[in-house]
Structure 1
Amino acid sequence: MPEKDVAVAAVPRPARRRRGVPPLARFLIRRILMALLLAWGITLVTFVLTNLVPGDPVAANLGQRALGDPAIVAQWRTEHGLDKPLWEQYALHLGGVVQGDLGMSQQSHRPVAEDLAEYVPATLELAGVAIAISLVLGVAFGVVAALRRDRLADHVLRVLSLVGISVPTFWLALVAFYVFFFRLQITPGSGRVDPALGAPPGVTGLQTVDALLAGRWDIFTSAVGHLITPALVLALYTIGLLTRFTRSAVLEVLGQDYVRAARAKGLPGRVILFRYVLRSALVPIITVAGLAFGSLLSGTVLVEAIFAWPGIGQYAYKSATSLDLPAVMGVGLVVGVVYLAINLIVDVLYGVIDPRVRLQ
């Protein structure tokens, strides 16, 4: 072989770049596949835990006279599939979930999916407004406390956040209802809207949104008035939590070298705060906000009871007390799916805010 050819052959060729899936797309695909796997696990866990609950659903749903008749008991168990082995019951339940059929409620005698479609939007509306208030006030208070570290504003906000975390939500709901409605009469009573106005035409189930879509400003004003007090009660704990986490996250970022370098360059304080500090501090803030929204959505039972708010908390309580197994499993599935959706959204926001997350 000529020397020229040997020299050419010895030179390594540059590796071709493979056009693969973008990092953000790979990141999203992994998270979605993991969410689907966890959704299957939620159906299994809710089914097993529901069937481990002590008590007999037959005795809870049949009267004493019917309970004494073996033929009626056997017929009831056959109608609700309780005479089959557990693995077969789970297979039927999983097949129904895939098709959107969550079974029949034993207390309302309606499909569980229809009941949840009626109750879930009320809780979503309440929890959504509460988390929006919490994000605005909690993040703002945390930033102010961090920028005014060890000053009067910092001490006041830290005390207020500690009070918000420490005060029991049900006690605060009772006090707010008694003071603002019963004594001062500056807020509406219980429910989602004034009975004289009635509910707007149902489109989304969110009465504030449905009232706007229907052009009914009177119903919208009434719905906002009924919504604001329970939302503020629910938001107080989350405001205190976000204030403390935001303060610690902002203080940690303020001590980084790149923030000091930005100050040395003479960049305006507003640019440093929004472009450098808040963006870096958003990851822990988003984590806490996502967990807080899931907690608000699944922990509104007492607040809904005090304000007569027809949400999923009331439906879950009634289903549990009557051992309505399809309804209990439906509520558990909805809450679990909501947590999965929130975690997926948080993961996506991680990848958007911090490119290092999606490249790992």
Structure 2
Amino acid sequence: MKTTGTRARHPLARFLIRRILIALLLAWGITLVTFVLTNMVPGDPVAANLGQRALGDPAIVAQWKAEHGLDKPLPEQYLLHLQGILQGDLGTSQQSHRPVGDDLAAFVPATLELAGAAILISLVLGVAFGVVAALRRDRLPDHLLRVLSLIGISVPTFWLALLAFYVFFYRLQLTPGSGRIDPGMTAPGPITGLHTLDAALTGQWDVFASAVGHLITPALVLALYTIGLLTRFTRSAVLEVLGQDYVRAARAKGLPGRTVLFRYVLRSALVPIITVAGLAFGSLLSGTVLVEAIFAWPGVGQYAYKSATSLDLPAVMGVGLVVGVVYLIINLIVDVLYGIIDPRVRLQ
């Protein structure tokens, strides 16, 4: 009985330990999958990185393979790759001739800033629109928001990015051009790599205003699809909760509508909303290639594209590892929020 009581006292701690162990196992699986898939890509990395004259010299080809570990069997290559990851070494990029870790440290913060702003806008607007649509079911606001959400889900992101750049920058000149800050400005000190946050921390408010101005248009373009998705999911979740007996009982007790909405309805509807938001953030982080190209945003999407076209295997595996780990971290955060919001989850 004493053991059972001790176990019951810390259900959230046991829940977190299980999730962390599963995340570590999945992280190992990501390293294996990225390595195998990268090496299955058709093409010869030697031909992609050496010139025609060098390819004709067997000694140069052998030396290049030896430098990049391509002269060893695949299992040995994987073990060396895994050993390097554990030591914080992701290899050397064949296109930039720099450590892949340094390249990712330069490019990942830009994508994180863009995807983070997009998901923040999506959460605020998507959840608010979904709640309004549910509370005004089958009325004019509901119909309008459902049409807008359908448009957001249906419109291709690359087309919307081109249209936004042409209209708001080229024609109306309401937003700044491409890049993360104005050309004449110096980027703030690399504290976090996020220009908006670094500028605010160092008190460079002119740089902060420029960074926000450059961030808002691509973030809104990326957020439109997620806003539509969250609007529809929030509406469905809130409508389902509104029909529960405990919500009717809370209203029958005479509780204020705001209390019923935030304490009873939204808390119960948060689980599916958090799930969609977590998946959407992972998709935004790994799917910004076209938007980054249109707005000349120096993020990991452009780095991954250039690495893939030049068969830069260490860089491709590094990008795959980073994206996979980000997904794991997001899923872990979502699982933790599940356990905090719904006690039934951590008791399972």
Q: 2:6 aligns to what SS in structure 1?
A: coil
Alignment correspondent of 1:74: 62
User: Separation in 1 of the partners of 2:243 and 2:88?
Assistant: 51
Deviation, structure 1 residue 142: 0.1
* Worse-matched range after superposition: 35-44 or 65-74: 65-74
CA distance in 1 between counterparts of 2:218 and 2:336 reads: 30
Structure 2 residue corresponding to 1:312, chosen from 292, 300, 304: 300
Distance 1:344 1:308 in 2: 32
Pairing of 1:1-360 with structure 2 (within 5 A): 15-16=1-2, 18-20=5-7, 22-360=10-348
Deviation at 1:183, TM superposition (A): 0.3
Specify the code of the residue in structure 1 equivalent to 2:162: L
CA distance in 2, matches of 1:355, 1:19: 17
| Identity, % of aligned positions | 86
CA distance in 1, matches of 2:316, 2:135: 47
**Structure 2 unpaired stretches of 5+:** none
**How far apart in 1 are the matches of 2:277 and 2:32?**
27
- What secondary structure, in the 3-state scheme, does the structure 2 residue paired with 1:211 have? helix
In 1, Cα distance between the equivalents of 2:334 and 2:87?
28
**How big is the shift at 1:16?**
3.9
Aligned counterparts of 2:32 and 2:185: Cα–Cα separation in 1: 43
Distance 1:112 1:16 in 2: 52
Q: CA offsets per residue over residues 22-73 of structure 1, 9 Å max, x none? A: 1000000000000000000000000000000000000000011111111111
The whole-number CA distance in structure 2 between the counterparts of 1:244 and 1:156 is 12
Q: Secondary structure at the match of 2:95?
A: coil
- Alignment partners' CA distance in 2, 1:202 and 1:287: 32
**Worse-superposed segment, 192-201 or 139-148:** 192-201
Q: Deviations over 1:180-209 (max 9, x none)?
A: 000000100000001101211111100011
Letter in structure 1 aligned against 2:281: F
In the superposition, the TM-score normalised over structure 1's length comes to 0.95
Deviation at 1:213, TM superposition (A): 1.6
- After alignment, is 15-24 or 107-116 more displaced? 15-24
Q: For structure 1, which segment, 192-201 or 230-239, has the greater mean C-alpha deviation from structure 2 after superposition?
A: 192-201
User: In structure 2, what residue type is equivalent to 1:72?
Assistant: I
SS state at 1:157 partner? helix
- In structure 2, give the amino acid aligned to 1:335: V
CA distance in 2, matches of 1:167, 1:327: 32
Shift of 1:246: 0.1
- Distance in 2, Cα, partners of 1:217 & 1:266: 48
Cα gap change, 1:124 to 1:163, in 2 (>3 Å): same
User: SS in structure 2 opposite 1:19?
Assistant: helix
- Structure 1: runs of 5+ lacking an equivalent: 1-14
Give the secondary-structure state (helix, strand or coil) at the position aligned to 1:192: coil
Moved over 3 A (4+): 15-18
CA RMSD of aligned residues (A): 0.8
Write out per-residue CA displacement over residues 222-242 of structure 1, whole angstroms, 9 at most, x where no aligned residue.
000000000000000000000
Q: What TM-score do you get using the length of structure 2 for normalisation?
A: 0.98
Cα separation, 1, equivalents of 2:214 and 2:67: 41
Distance in 2 between residues matched to 1:273 and 1:199, nearest whole Å: 43
Q: Could you list the per-position Cα deviations for residues 81-126 of structure 1 after superposition, in whole angstroms to 9, with x for gaps in the alignment?
A: 0000000000000000011100000000000000000000000000
Greater alpha carbon shift after TM alignment, 204-213 vs 296-305: 204-213
**CA deviations over 1:291-335 (Å, ceiling 9, x no partner):** 000000000000000000000000000000000000000000000
Deviation (angstroms), 1:19: 2.4
- Of residues 66-75 and 35-44 in structure 1, the stretch that sits farther from structure 2 once superposed is 66-75
